[in-house]
Amino acid sequence: MKIIRTKTYEEMSEKAYDVVKAVIDSKENPVINTTTGASYDGMFENLVKGINNDEVDIEKVFMMNLDEFIAPRESSFSVYSYMHQKFYDQIKKQPREIGLLDGSLSNFDEEIARYNKILRDNKRDLQILGLGVNAHLGANEPGTPFDSRLFLADSDDSTINSTMLYYKVTRDEAPEQMLTLGLADMMEAEQILVTASGTRKAEAVKATLEGPITEDCPASILQKHPNVVFIIDEAAGSLLTKY
């Protein structure tokens, strides 16, 4: 695992952009599966600039997402809304293909089957992940089996609170379930990128990097992957003693 420590969130975002750009530059038809949220706001801003300045060839990229809330697609907090508002609506050229989960459907079994076929047919060159305050990855909360595959997940209270904080929604408005790639799905990517910033993530970072590999800490499974880039700012890495 490659650990990159930065002083600030802005530097972390620049380093994350560099990883994404390197994958796009080095692959003929790259497949990138990404996440959303505060950890990657800065990275997406840099990616938008890179595309619009003709520094990144997004037209050869298949962009996918790893999860989606169970809610109408147009909800302010949906992955669909995030990706369009912060990325697709901001770039002058579009990816060759876009793959988004749909959490507004009534039949989740059909949606899971549809997306599983996309995953089978498109080997991911890069899996982008955020780290939850309880060390979840996607919606794989503590206790989720390491062999989990794309499924309908219930969110822990800490995850719901993070959603409320970031999207400025009330407890009644906040979604409680997500369709999410399982941990086994994530581990199949050729490379994994993880970022974490702020003191809220410090305990999760320490457990992920220096703790035992256990389902109580979902992100600890990353210790088993041969090609992980983990980028953290000073606050997120403040409890580490080995790195």
Question: Which residues are designated catalytic?
Answer: 67, 134, 136, 141
Taking the mean position of all CA atoms in its chain, how far away is CA 84? 16
Residue with tokens 């997406």: 44
Note whether 158 and 152 are within 8 A (CB). no
Distance CA 236, CA 202 (A): 4
> By C-alpha distance, which of 202, 154, 216, 195 is closest to 12?
195
Q: Which amino acid is at 94?
A: Q
Q: What is the DSSP string of 168-216?
A: T--TTTS--EEEE--HHHHHTSSEEEEEE-SGGGHHHHHHHHHS---TT
